Amino acid sequence: MTHSPSGAQLPATHAPAGHLPVGSRLWIRNPQAAFTANSLDASGGVVVSGGKIAEVLAAGQQPSSPCDETFDAGSHVLLPGLINTHHHFYQTLTRAWGPVANAPLFPWLRTLYPVWARLTPRDLELAATAALAELLLSGCTTAADHHYLFPDGMEHAIDIEVEAVRRLGMRATLTRGSMTLGQDDGGLPPQSTVQAPEVILADSERLIGQYHERGDGAVIQIALAPCSPFSVTKEIMVESALLAERLDVRLHTHLAETLDEEDFCRKIFGLRTVDYLESVGWLGSRTWLGHGIHFTDDEIARLGAAGTGVAHCPTSNMRLASGTARVLELEAAGVPVGLGVDGSASNDASNMILETRQALYLQRLRYGAQVPVERALNWATKGSAAVLGRPDLGQLAPGMQADLALFKLDDLRFSGSHDPIAALLLCAADRADRVMIGGTWRVVDGQIPGLDIAGLIAEHSAAARKLIAG
Across residues 307-324, what is the average pLDDT?
A: 98
Please give the pLDDT value at position 20. 78
Residue 401 bridge partners (DSSP): 52
Give per-residue pLDDT as tens, 21-55: 888 999 999 999 999 999 999 999 999 999 999 99
Give per-residue pLDDT as tens, 213-266: 999 999 999 999 999 988 999 999 999 999 999 999 999 999 999 999 999 999
Give per-residue pLDDT as tens, 264-293: 999 999 999 999 999 999 999 999 999 999
* Contact yes or no for 208/222 (Cβ under 8 A): yes
Please give the pLDDT value at position 325. 98
Please give the pLDDT value at position 183. 87
Give per-residue pLDDT as tens, 334-374: 999 999 999 999 999 999 999 999 999 999 999 999 999 99
**pTM as predicted:** 0.95
> Which domains are present in the chain?
82-387 (3.20.20.140)
Percent of the chain's residues with pLDDT above 70: 96
User: Does the pLDDT value for residue 208 go beyond 60?
Assistant: yes
